[in-house]
């Protein structure tokens, strides 16, 4: 149905139904046809989300942070408040993750895939609360393949940034996934988050152009 005006007709239908409302639309895979349609209908690119990949078989060295953090598994219920507080700090400007609340956390931890042993949290050397976390996820194995691991979400409190905790948590999570026998590890990251992209690249993650999702807005 490409090149038959279907996309333009759908866009016009949405415009007619939602007049006066700011609109956004995702293009999964950064397809050139979507870019052309966006240009024709007055949309502009406002956000890029990268999918990065890493072979799980590559060795992982867990670096030591400059402070004595204690890394352990998340305790559902007991850690909820502390996690939500640090998540809000770490993702204060993130359009989705920063808005996670108690209900949303309960929904995620109730999912069949949730495993608290793969949800790593770091306690600060002094004081209460948490200094950082790395929540991993394992996707079921495709036919004839190995399970796929995911850096589901990783965050560090502003007060702990620059101490090496982020690298430590990332490596610890990758080591956990390696021990669980996953064949590949994936993650999603904002394309303009240069520090995070560089960190992931340092740990062997790569990005291909086809693994780009683009948000358009008008």
pLDDT means per 10 residues, the chain with 218 residues, are 56 58 80 82 89 88 87 97 97 88 97 98 92 97 90 96 95 95 95 94 94 90
Q: What pLDDT, on the 0 to 100 scale, is given for residue 15?
A: 59
Top CATH class, 51-209: alpha beta
Q: What pLDDT, on the 0 to 100 scale, is given for residue 14?
A: 59
Q: What pLDDT, on the 0 to 100 scale, is given for residue 32?
A: 83
Q: What pLDDT, on the 0 to 100 scale, is given for residue 53?
A: 97
Q: What pLDDT, on the 0 to 100 scale, is given for residue 9?
A: 57
Q: What pLDDT, on the 0 to 100 scale, is given for residue 10?
A: 58
User: Three-class SS string for the chain?
Assistant: CCCCCHHHHHHHHHHHHCCCCCCEEEEECCCHHHHHHHHHCCCEEEEEEEEEEEECCCCCCCCCCCCCCEEEECCCCCCHHHHHHHHHHHCCCCCCHHHCCHHHHHHHHCCCCCCHHHEEEEECCCCCCCCEEEEEEEECCCCCCCCEEEEEEEEECHHHCCCCHHHHHHHHHHHHHHHCCCCEEEEEEECCCHHHHHHHHHCCCEEEEEEEEEEEEC
Whole-structure pTM value: 0.85
Q: Domain coordinates of the chain in residue numbers?
A: 6-49, 51-209
């Amino acid at each position: 149905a490409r090149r038959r005006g279907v996309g333009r007709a759908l866009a016009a239908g949405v415009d007619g139904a939602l007049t006066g409302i700011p609109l956004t639309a995702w293009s999964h895979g950064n397809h050139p046809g979507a870019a052309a349609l966006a240009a024709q209908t007055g949309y502009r690119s406002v956000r890029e989300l990268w999918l990065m990949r890493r072979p799980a078989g590559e060795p992982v060295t867990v670096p030591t942070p400059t402070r004595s953090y204690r890394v352990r598994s998340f305790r559902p219920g007991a850690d909820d408040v502390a996690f939500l507080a640090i998540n809000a700090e770490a993702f204060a400007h993130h359009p989705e993750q920063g808005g996670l609340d108690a209900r949303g956390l309960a929904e995620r931890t109730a999912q069949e895939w949730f495993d608290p042993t793969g949800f790593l949290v770091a306690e600060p050397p002094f004081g209460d609360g948490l200094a950082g976390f790395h929540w991993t996820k394992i996707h079921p194995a495709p036919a004839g393949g190995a399970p796929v691991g995911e850096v589901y979400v990783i965050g560090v409190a502003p007060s702990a940034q620059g101490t090496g905790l982020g690298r430590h948590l990332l490596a610890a999570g990758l080591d956990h996934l390696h021990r669980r026998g996953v064949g590949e590890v994936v993650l999603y990251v904002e394309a303009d988050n240069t520090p995070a992209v560089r960190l992931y690249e340092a740990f062997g993650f790569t990005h291909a152009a086809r693994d780009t999702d683009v948000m358009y807005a008008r």
